[in-house]
Amino acid sequence: MLAQPRHQFNKDFTEAQYQAYLQVIQADFPGALDFRVAESPVFVSTDFLHKMQATCDYIITQVKQPDFLAKTGSAIPKGLRVPGPEGRPHFLIFDFGICEDPNSPGHYIPQLVEMQGFPTLFAYQLKQYQAAAGSYKLPAGFTPFINDLDEQKVKQILADLLKGQENPDNTQPHTVLLELFPEKQKTRIDFLYTEKYFGIPTVCLTEIRKVGNQLFYHRNGKDILIERIYNRLIFDELSNQSAIVKKQAALLMQPLDVSWVTHPNWFYRLSKFTLPLLNDPGIPETRLLSDFNKWPTDLENYVLKPLFSFAGNGVVIDVTSADIEAIAKDQYKNYILQKKVNYAPAIKTPDGPAKAEIRLFYVWPDELDTPIAICNLARLTKGNMVGVSQNKNKTWVGGSFALFGQTSKEKS
């Protein structure tokens, strides 16, 4: 991490600046921000960024292999396989913990924590960057964007990807953002900015209606045809819903005249399920429980994770043999043991050091041969996990972003 901009930011920081920052984020949609925003960006050298990208490039190479679909076919839970052409994963999202280098004390390395073939807070992050730039005096030469992109270029890339190619009649397919009870989701501010920036309305699963192989929703007295779905629906969360919701979800399991961005099956194919198939210095050792003949003797150095969970649900940080024995043997194939990633307290803040992870956003437009990195988010914590429950009544924690600066000889 870069020491000089960190020191200068902390020195210049005022609570009034932070409150102005929050006000700008919330100005368009009061009451929609439902998670804590950290006081500060994370200042990261390009050396560290390139290390993260090297691991991402390795994973992308594996995804592009001809046998990747065959290897990940069993990742999709029974009853949740959505029909239709899967194509490519339009979104590849990689979360890296900032960890101390065991071979070089005082220096940091990235370690992959999670990945997903599923979208993230694209629109909201653009707003957050704007708000920070207008509220703080951020250092020159730093950017949240990657590959020499800027805000306008990223907006155009996302607009083209989310809305699809124009038809012969010079119109784009009608795209909706699909979610379940979007007004109750913590990420709803991103849905609102998605409509503001890209003109894509949010539609609840309960609103859709199937006629033949077509889907419709009702707005302002009209039935509107859905031609393209920007999917934000987590399908395995539907199992806990009412019979009415499950009946609606069953519509999506039938052949439909829609295109997906991205196809729901990629949520499972590119996920924790994939980690045991990979071998890279930036990826902690990961194995399915079903692959063990006996448990490691140092379980305290591992994390137990269910394959099919979201937002950290079901994760056990301090693993014991009792935690594993509580799982039915026929469910071992649905859990992984991952070598523990020890986050370093690398972010100096006025009230004590924070740990952080950085999420790199990759998108894969149809016209490109390989995905491209566009921007990022970061999350700061002073607990054992990155989550609200781990950071209650704490400051300098929550959602943020990394600013990447020139290569530095500082500790990074």
Q: Which residues pair with 356 in a beta bridge?
A: 380
Q: What is the pLDDT of residues 32-87, one digit of tens each?
A: 999 999 999 999 999 999 999 999 999 999 999 999 999 999 899 888 999 999 99
Q: What is the pLDDT of residues 352-399, one digit of tens each?
A: 999 999 999 999 999 999 999 999 999 999 987 676 555 667 899 999
Give the residue, 410 or 321, on which the prediction is more confident.
Answer: 321
Q: Is the pLDDT of residue 19 over 70?
A: yes
Across all residues in the chain, what is the average pLDDT? 92
Give the residue, 412 or 249, on which the prediction is more confident.
Answer: 249
Predicted pLDDT at 314: 80
Predicted pLDDT at 408: 44
Q: Is the pLDDT of residue 175 over 70?
A: yes
Q: Is the pLDDT of residue 27 over 60?
A: yes
Measured CA to CA, the distance from residue 190 to residue 266 in angstroms comes to 21
Domain boundaries, the chain: 3-284+341-405, 285-340
| Letter string b/e over residues 264-273, b meaning 16 or more CB atoms within 10 A of that residue's CB | bbbbbbbbbb
User: What are the phi and psi torsion angles at 270 (to 5°)?
Assistant: -110, 90
Among the ranges given (22-31, 256-265, 313-322), the one the predictor scored with the smallest mean pLDDT? 313-322
For the chain, what percent of residues have pLDDT higher than 90?
82
State pTM to two decimals.
Answer: 0.93
Contacts of residue 140, defined as CB under 8 A and 6 or more positions apart, other chains included, come to none
Q: Is the pLDDT of residue 409 over 50?
A: no
Name the burial class of residue 321, with classes exposed (0-12), middle (13-18) and buried (19+) by CB atoms within 10 angstroms of its CB.
Answer: exposed
Q: Which of 377, 341, 280 is nearest to 57 (CA)?
A: 280
Highest-pLDDT range among 197-206, 239-248, 297-306: 197-206
DSSP state of 340: P
Which residue intervals of 222-326 are DSSP H helices? 243-251, 266-269, 321-325
For the chain, what percent of residues have pLDDT higher than 70?
95
Q: Is the pLDDT of residue 412 over 50?
A: no
Mean pLDDT computed over 105-134: 95
Predicted pLDDT at 312: 58
Measured CA to CA, the distance from residue 272 to residue 277 in angstroms comes to 10
Mean pLDDT computed over 338-360: 94
